[in-house]
Chains A and B, each alone.
Chain A
C-alpha cells in the first residue's frame, strides 16, 4: 500500500538503505571534479583521488599509470560495495539488486560474441568484461556459432534465459544480428524489470517506473538515431522499442518513420519532459545529445534519494557510480592526451 512503507520497510531493508546512503555521500562532488580537471598528469589524478574514497584502491599502483587502470580500480570499488550489499540482502531486495546487473551481463555476452567473431583471444575479452556482469560459464560463449547454440550451450542456465525467446534463430552471427540481439535482449530485460517493480508495489514501483521509463525512452531515441541510414527496416526498428514509457505507443509510431535528427527532434518536442533536453541542442548537432541525456538521468537519480523506504536508491546508487566512473575516464583520457580544453565537454556533475 503506497504511503505505509515506513512501518515495515526497515525490518529487512533499513540497514542496507542506511548503508547505501552512506556510500552515496562518498560520491565525488563539484570541488573534487574541479581539482581533477586541473591536473596535468595521470599521477596528479592519482594523488587527488587518494584523498577521496578511492584512495585504498589506487595507492598500490606502480607509477606509469594508464587510464584503463584507473577505471578498472574504480570499478572494483563499485563491485566491492555491490557485493557487500548483495550478501546482506534478503528477498526481494536481493532479486532487485541482481536485476540491476543484468544489463551488464547482456553487454558482456555481446562483447565476447563480437570479439570471437573478429577472432580475438578469449582471455583478452574476458578481461575487458564488466565485473558486475560476470557469470560462471561466460567463457564458453566463444564456442557458439549461431544463436541457437549460444542459447543451448550457455545462456539457458543464466538469468538471461527468459529474454531469449524472441531472438532464437539459426542464422549465423554477424555484426548486424548481434546488435539486434543486444537490443532485443535489453528490451526484454527492461520489460521484465518493469514488471518486477510493479509487483513490488508502493514507492519502489512508482519511482522505478519513472526511472525505467526514462531509460526505455532514451534507448528508443538512441536506436532511432543510430539506425538512420542503415538497412534496418522500420518494422524491425519498431520491434526494438520497449512497450512502456512515455513514448509508448504513439511516440514509437512516429519515431519508427524518422529519417534524420530534425524529425526525431520534432517528435520529441511534443513531450514536455524531453522538450527541455532537446532545446539545449542547436539544430543539426548530435554530439551533445548523450551528455544532455546523462544530465537528465543524473537529475532523476538524485531525486530518488529525496524519499525514504524504497529500493530505487540502490538502483540509483549503481547508476550514479557508473556515471562517476565515466567522468573519471573522460578526465583521465583528456589529461593523458593533453586535451584539457575539452575536459568539461562531457563531465556530468552529480552534486
Chain B
C-alpha cells in the first residue's frame, strides 16, 4: 500500500538504484541500496540506508525516509550499476569508463577501487579516440561484462588490469543492455530490436544465436532472465512493450504484453519469487506483473483500493511448458498487472527488487522505497 512507500527528494536525477545483495543465509530484508545520478554537472554514486530498523513497529512496519550514508563524485552520467559483492559496485559511465567503487562500511566512505578508462570508445574519421557511453554492465563475481554505444562487448575480471576479452564491433547498432544467461553465455539487446546470445568460450566474434522482433525493429532497452528457468527471457522495448522469449525455440518472442506508453527502461524478475516481474518506464509508471496462478489467493495488497488493475490476455504460442510466463492454459492464462505509481509524472529510470523490498528512482529527483511489497 502507499503508506508503506517512503520517498526522498535527493536534488539529482536518479538513473540507477540497486539493493546491496544479502549474505547467503540472511533472513533480514535488505537495508542498504546504492543510487547513481545522471545529467548533472556533478554526478554521484550514493549509498543509502533504507530506513531506521530500530524504529520497526509492532507489526514490522518501518518508519523514516532513506538516509544518505556516503557518496562520491562520478565522471559522466551513471548509465548502469551492479553490485559485484557486498562491498563493491561496478559503475558504467557515459564517458565509456567502467569503475569499481568500494563501500567501506566501517567508516561509511566510498572510494574508487579500480578503473578501466574508456573501456568503450569511438574511433572517428580523424582516428582520434573518444569515449563512447557504456550502456550496460553485468557482474558474476569476479567476471564483469560491459556493453556500449560503440557496439563493443568487454569481459573484465575484477582482479585483472586489462580486459580478458573484447569483441570489437560485436553489434553494428547500439547495445543497450546485457545479462548473464549462464556462466559462460551472455544476452544482449540492441537498438534494432535484436536479442543475441554470445558464448564467451568460443573465439568467434559472432553471436551464437540472434532473435528479433517481427515487424518494425523497435529498439530493446532492457533484458532479464528468469532466475530458475533460464530459457525464459524478458525484454523491454522503446514502445514500452514487454516481450517474453523462449530461447529454446523460434527466433521471435513468445508473447508481447503492452502496458507502458514509452520506453521501458528496466525489467526485473523477482529473484526469489519469479512469478512476479517489475518494469518501469519513461512514462512515469512502474508495473507489477503477477502470474501467480490462483487469483483468489493473491497477496492482499493487490486488492487495496484506488489502483488501476487490469487483466491481460496472454497470447502465447507455446503449449509445452509449465511456466506461467509461457503457458496458455486457460486457467492460468491470466496475468494481473498493477501500476505501483498512481500520480506519475516524470520517468522512472530504474528499479530493483529484493525480498519484500522495492526501490526505484526518477527524473523528478526522488527515490522511493517500498518495504512491504508482499504485505
User: Do A and B come together as binding partners?
Assistant: no
Interface positions of A (Cβ within 8 A of B): none
Interface positions of B (Cβ within 8 A of A): none
